[in-house]
Amino acid sequence: MKEHMKSALLTFLILLSFIQTGLLWYSSPSYEGNKQLYVTRPQIGSEKYNKKQMYELVAPHQIIWHHSGATAWIPMEVNGKGNPSYDNLIKSLHAGKLENLHLITPTAEQWNQLYQQETGVELRYFRDVPSKVISAFYLDDIDLSQLKWVSRIWVFIQNKQIITWFISDSEQKVIQAQTTIPRFQSVLGEIARQPTEPVDPFYTTGKFPLDTNSPVPKFPHAFYLPKKPPKATESVFGLKKIQIDAMKNWLFNDPTLVNRLTITNRLLYTDSVRLLQYDDRNQEMIYTSSAKATVPVPPSQELDRINRFVKKHSGWTGNYLLDRITQNTDSDANQYHFRLIVDGLPVYWPTAIQKKNPDLDPFGIELESTEEEVSMYQRSLLYLSSDPQKRKAVQLPNKDDVLALLKRAHIEPANVRDLFLGYQTEDMKDEHVKLKPVWIVMPANNDPRILSTG
């Protein structure tokens, strides 16, 4: 990604130089001005994927329901359709009022009670999320500046009051907030009546419950695995392709006044302010703008601008969630990486191919924004058809088998940040792709691994 950006900026500067000296206007044989007086801009993706509000893009990928020691997944989708219980929970949490935020040092007794007695939900993210980004999930601004990272959020009922814990496992800190969520108990009751997947916690930090007579050495941390083989579906989807001309028409203010040329097997479009690179071999595009950030803005504003930008051309060609945030080393701008979610599960490219080309992510979308506009947009032009052409039920390893696979792969559970179900893409040819359900291991170093069952 960084190399792409550097190449893009270098090429852009070259193009600007050509334009400013007048050479480009006279030397290019493919000037596209005056080709049409009116530019039609058809929507690219399906409308149903472009109704998400900004806070829904930063929702957690996994929610665990806790009730008197029992634990279960709250699925994002049920039978290929959205789960109303999940949606209602996300909306309720988003609208919650948080007050009296302050750092606490939980005791062993509090941890034991949280895991074994309290009723509530545990929101789990792919990776640790910057605390400033977490604020984008809530309707009102909240101050989490005493934390740099948030690993998980736990919302629970204690003595008839709703409490929220923002937990940073990496910093070993917790911010507690008094919380008001209308109908929270009703929402939890609705979840209890809906189908869930019972799971067991596996504590990576040692024996649990904690000894209440000893100080807490490290925050207890667990990943959740089913006792029985989980229900899973292998699917085959057709592939669709976004035409680069459609993107050009959306990304330039006046696409009839855009110059086109080819450099090193890439098709380039520019209007002297913006640059669109098209890689025909990898079927991906990179759009950059010369706009530079001058005033720092909160991530919530950046994400809102990004969402409106992509929705304008119906560019969410599937269900996407924020996966991670990195920084552009040249500008220190936040780069937001979004991952495709299918049937409630994240989609990953095969590990062997990913190692050869770390920047290649056929279904990922990356953007960054200044205070005024989106300044970078990278994505594959390939996307999945809305409905699978084939589906079949498959059986995946249960808790005991997964732990055995970890041992076979020489992965210490203590080094695992999370372990969850996902999809691995296979057979991406003949305009079709297979999504195979797998277990995804997220080590503490944040580099995901696909747990082989072979």
Per the structure block, which two tokens stand in for 56? Answer: 């829904």
Residues contacting residue 355 through CB under 8 Å, at least 6 positions apart: none
Q: Which of 260, 352, 368, 195 is nearest to 24 (CA)?
A: 260
Quote the distance between the C-alpha of residue 349 and its chain's center: 14
The dihedrals phi and psi of 29, each to the nearest 5 degrees, come to -85, 0
> What are the structural domains of the chain?
2-50+243-347+356-380 (3.30.310.160), 61-225 (no CATH), 387-451 (no CATH)
Residue 4, amino acid: H
How does pLDDT run along the chain (454 residues), one tens digit per residue? 445 544 554 455 455 444 443 433 333 444 444 444 455 677 888 888 899 999 999 999 999 999 989 999 998 887 777 888 899 999 999 999 999 999 999 999 999 999 999 999 999 998 999 999 999 999 999 999 999 999 999 999 999 999 999 999 999 999 999 999 988 999 999 888 887 789 999 999 989 999 999 888 899 999 999 999 988 899 999 999 999 999 999 999 888 889 998 888 789 999 989 999 999 888 899 999 987 777 888 999 999 999 999 999 999 999 999 999 988 777 778 999 999 999 999 999 876 555 545 555 678 899 999 888 999 999 999 999 988 888 999 989 999 999 999 999 999 999 999 999 999 998 777 788 999 999 999 988 767 889 877 5
Calculate ∠ Cα 135-423-59, nearest 5°: 10
Residues contacting residue 315 through CB under 8 Å, at least 6 positions apart: 44, 45, 50, 309, 365, 379
Residue 339, amino acid: R
Per the structure block, which two tokens stand in for 298? Answer: 């909160």
pLDDT of residue 268: 94
Task: Give the tens place of pLDDT for each residue, 322-359.
Answer: 999 988 777 778 999 999 999 999 999 876 555 545 55
Residues contacting residue 201 through CB under 8 Å, at least 6 positions apart: 71, 115, 208, 222, 223, 224
Task: Give the tens place of pLDDT for each residue, 418-432.
Answer: 999 999 998 777 788
Q: Which of 153, 155, 133, 151 is nearest to 142 (CA)?
A: 133
Residues contacting residue 162 through CB under 8 Å, at least 6 positions apart: 96, 155, 156, 178, 179, 180, 181, 184
